[in-house]
Amino acid sequence: MILDKNYLSHVDDIEYFPDTMKALHLFQEMGYELFVVTNQSGVGRGYFSLEAVYVIHRQLQNDLRENKLHPFKDFAICPHTPDEKCHCRKPSGQMIQELIEKYHINLKHSYMVGDKIIDAESGHNAGINGILVRQVHKSDFPYYKTLLDFANHLKSNP
Ligand SMILES: [Zn+2]
């Protein structure tokens, strides 16, 4: 979970919530694989290149390794704008579905966690559990104040 910076495009702009690494440790201790599923319409809008997104993702991997975590298993990126009407942009479940097929992921024990309703919806649309953290709008999805709260919940309700 990184702070939402509206078109994060430079590694200097990466800023984690204080409990993020601890939460990721808990997930990995429980045996979960971690993936990133991200809408990057800034690419389609020409604000930055896909290569800039890859640079950010490489930095995320380095940050995880520095925190003694396994790196993310994979990244799924939608570089399109809403106007392009692609099939991958969240809330579509397509990016998640492709990861599910590629890595033979168990649906029942998988969670799409995000701070926007479209994140939880994309999980739901792919047949996995949608979870919301750190957002304020009411929805039908389970909600946790922080990623660590969710990790602790999973640990006590395996
Ligand atoms: Zn797309």
Here the CATH number for the domain that contains residue 102 is 3.40.50.1000
Q: 75 CA distance to ligand 1 centroid (A)?
A: 14
In the chain, how many domains are there? 1
Q: What is the pLDDT of residue 9?
A: 75
How many whole angstroms separate alpha carbon 25 and alpha carbon 23? Answer: 5
By residue range, what is the domain housing residue 129?
Answer: 11-156
Q: 54 CA distance to ligand 1 centroid (A)?
A: 16
Report whether pLDDT(2) > 70: no
Q: 149 CA distance to ligand 1 centroid (A)?
A: 31
Report whether pLDDT(61) > 90: yes
The answer to whether the beta carbons of residues 15 and 59 sit under 8 Å apart is: no
4 occurs within a structural domain: no
**What pLDDT band is residue 6 in, cutting at 50, 70 and 90?**
low
Angle between helices 147-156 and 20-29 (to 10 degrees): 20
**What pLDDT band is residue 152 in, cutting at 50, 70 and 90?**
very high
